[in-house]
Amino acid sequence: MRHLKTGLAALATTAALGVPAIAVAQDYTIGVSIPAATHGWTGGVNFHAEQAKERLEELHPNISITISTASNPGEQANDLEDLVSLRDIDALVILPFESGPLTDPVRRVKEEGVFVTVVDRGLTQDGISDLYVAGNNHELGRVSGEYIREQLDGEGDIVVLRGIPTVIDDERVEGFQAAIEGSDINILDMQHANWNRDDGFEVMQDFLSRFDNIDAVWAQDDDIALGVIEAVRQAEREDELFIVGGAGMKDIIERVMEGDDLVPVDVLYPPAMIATAMDLTVQHFVSNGPVLGEYILGSPLITEENAEQYYYPDSPF
Partner 1 sequence: MAIDLKTWGPFIALVVLAILGVLINPAFLGLDNLSNMLTRSAFIGIIAIGATFVITAGGLDLSVGSMAAFIAGVMIIIMNSLVEQFGAGLTTVLFGVGASLILGMGAGFINGVVTTKGKIEAFIVTLGTMGIYRSLVTYLADGGTLTLDWNVRDIYRPVYYDSLLGIPIPVWVFLVVAIIGYILLNFTRFGRYCFAIGSNEKVAEYSAIHVDRVKTLTYVLQGICVALATIIYVPRLGSASGATGVLWELEAIAAVIIGGTVLKGGHGRIWGTVVGAIMLTMIGNILNLTDAISNYLNGTVQGIIIIVAVYLQRASWRKTGP
Distance between CA atoms of residues 49 and 67, nearest Å: 8
**Residue 269 in contact with partner 1, rule: CB under 8 A:** no
Nearest to 207 by CA among 140, 158, 261: 158
Please report whether residue 174 would count as binding partner 1 according to CB under 8 A: no
Q: Does 36 bind partner 1 (CB under 8 A)?
A: yes
Using CA atoms, how far apart are residues 291 and 117, in angstroms rounded to an integer? 10
Tell me whether residue 114 or residue 231 sits nearer to partner 1 (CB atom). Answer: 231
H or E stretch at 288: none
209 counts as binding partner 1 under rule CB under 8 A? yes
Are 265 and 147 in contact by the 8 Å Cβ rule? The answer is yes
**Shortest reach from residue 238's CB to partner 1, in Å:** 14
Cβ burial 89-121 (10 Å sphere, 16+ → b, else e): bbbbbbbbbebeebbebbeebbeeebbbbbbbb
Q: Is 42 in the site for partner 1 (CB under 8 A)?
A: yes
What separation in angstroms does the CA of 103 have from each of 78, 95, 97, 116?
Answer: 13, 11, 10, 12
286 binds partner 1 (CB under 8 A): no
The smaller minimum CB distance to partner 1, of residues 44 and 96, is found at 44
Examine residue 43 and tell whether it contacts partner 1 (CB under 8 A).
Answer: yes
| Interface of this chain with partner 1, residues 144 to 173, rule: CB under 8 A | 162, 165
Does 47 sit near partner 1 (CB under 8 A)? yes
Considering only 8-16, 131-139, 222-230, 281-289, which stretch makes contact with partner 1 by CB under 8 A?
222-230
Cα dist from 47 to 36, 50, 73, 248, whole Å: 11, 5, 20, 14
CB of 99 to partner 1, least distance (A): 19
- Contact residues toward partner 1 (CB under 8 A) are 36-40, 42-44, 46-47, 162, 165, 189-192, 196-198, 201-203, 205-210, 223, 226-227, 230, 234-235, 251, 315-317
